[in-house]
Homo-oligomer: A and B are copies of this chain.
Amino acid sequence: MSLSSERDKKMVLEQFFKPNSIAIIGASRDESKVGQVILKNLIEGGFEGKLYPINPYADFILSLRCYKSVLDISNTVDLAIIAVPSEKTLAVIEACGKKGITHVLVVTAGFREVGNITLEEDLVKLLKKYKMRMIGPNVLGVYNAYAKLDTLFLPRERLRRPEKGFISFVCQSGAIGSAMLDKLAKEGYGFSKFVSYGNNTDVDESDLIAYLGDDEETKVICMYIEGVKDGKKFFDTAKAVARKKPLIVVKGGVTEGSSKSVMSHTGSLAGSFAVYRGIFKQCGIVQAATLEELFDFAMIFEKGWKPNGRRIQIITNGGGYGVLCSDEVVEMGLPLAKLSEKTKKELKQQLPATTTIGNPIDLVGDADTPRYMKTIHACLADDNIDILLVVALFQTPLLESDLVDKIIEINKQRIKPIIMVSTGSDYCERLIMKLQRNDVPCYNYPDEAVKAIKALLEKYNM
């Protein structure tokens, strides 16, 4: 493929993620209607381009001048978001075509997924006639933290939006997408782009990951898919993308029984999971078994680490956590690092007699920040160690929050991956959030952290 056509392909999708002007067709004066929620979220999200609400019966919506049709807008429109009832979709898309709008995002449901195949076929004909590209129908929308673009039709008081980061999420299910964005926003995850692509009638999952593969604001791509539209296309695209950056996938509809629910959900054929599993492996896709795993993995991949080796050193202030970490490391088939004699000697001089210098290094319950930092520095300098797994339980009174600042600082030198584990509620959550937002992955439980390390190592065949 020539360079120019590569760039063309990228440009085709760019307008969905970075439009300068948007028409919201079906914008409503009724605050409970999707058409108003979308407009409101675009405004509240701080979108800096032009917004054109379209509604034949209103003059103003949310203080913005309203148009009867896109044909009444004199300027160009980069993207039309369509939130009218399904039976009106064709007419408004026809108007878009006449206006010369090339990109439409169809939120409206009621097409193939409910058996309305003719309507979806007519929709496709219309797209071809006007050479338009479509995401949808039956989608939640697009979110781009960098362009302040938020077309999601769920209210902000119910769905917290994540801050800027480098994870992008391509999700066939709007429900999974919205629930996860909401939850992860609170856990300190940073997102770049999110897209729910529903029935994937025109722009499909392969187009989207190809775009994100070239997107500099995306360091890791997460996917939830039930089925793919074009197997060969997905295989080729995923393989190429996975060479550029980590691509992590959860596949829904893995059993014969559940395949049936996929059909009525997004109208896809779920296909045999065994077949998918094999294809994923050949493509270099990282496979996650659950939604939790998907984002546990994303957290570590987002940081862009490629470790020098597999040897893990555990540091903890809680003995039981040390035990559970080493259990998990051994069970995952990973090696526990062996401290060099030099490090042992050095730590013996510096740490109190109550500590245990081995693997785990147990700094015990009265550990403070200096005790942690001496140990971390020694382990970063020890050639016998590739990865540091640091448990910090902040419930103990002597461990101050400056440990977090010190770890963030040393982590900036990018000597070795430092993966943290911390469990707790309010006080602890604030510290975990700070770590996450500052490039240090922090997990709630030992098994989550070790599984993520394992996924990272496997990705690099280590």
Contact = CB atoms under 8 A, between A and B. Distances in A.
7 contacts: A154-B395, A174-B320, A176-B321, A182-B428, A183-B423, A257-B329, A265-B356
A406 to B, nearest CB: 19
Given A258-B323, A324-B252, A114 B182 contact: no
Interface of A: 32, 37, 109-110, 114, 154-155, 157-160, 171-176, 178-180, 182-183, 185-186, 224, 226, 252-258, 260-262, 264-266, 289-292, 316-324, 326-327, 329-331, 336, 353-354, 356, 358-360, 362, 364-365, 393-398, 422-428, 444-447
A397 B316 CA distance: 44
A358 B32 contact: no
Q: Specify which of A158, A178, A257, A262 lies most central, judged by the most chain B CB atoms within 10 Å of its CB.
A: A158
A139 to B, nearest CB: 11
B252 A327 contact: yes
Q: 9 nearest interchain CB pairs?
A: A175-B318, A173-B320, A265-B319, A186-B425, A258-B326, A179-B423, A255-B330, A176-B320, A252-B323
Given A186-B425, A447-B290, A252 B173 contact: no
B425 A173 contact: no
Contacts of A159: 395, 424
Contact of A331 (B155, B255, B322): B255
Nearest to A33: B397
B261 A183 contact: no
A336 B257 contact: yes
A178 B393 contact: yes
A174 B365 contact: yes
A356 B175 contact: no
Contact of A424 (B183, B265, B393, B397): B183
Contacts of A447: 289-290, 292
Contacts of A157: 427
Given A158-B394, A175-B320, A330-B255, A180 B290 contact: no
Given A114-B354, A258-B330, 6 more contacts: A171-B320, A173-B320, A179-B424, A258-B329, A289-B447, A290-B447
A110 B321 contact: no
Nearest to A330: B255
A320 B423 contact: no
A353 B291 CA distance: 30
Nearest to A353: B114
Given A174-B365, A320-B252, A264 B358 contact: yes
A250 to B, nearest CB: 8
A400 to B, nearest CB: 11
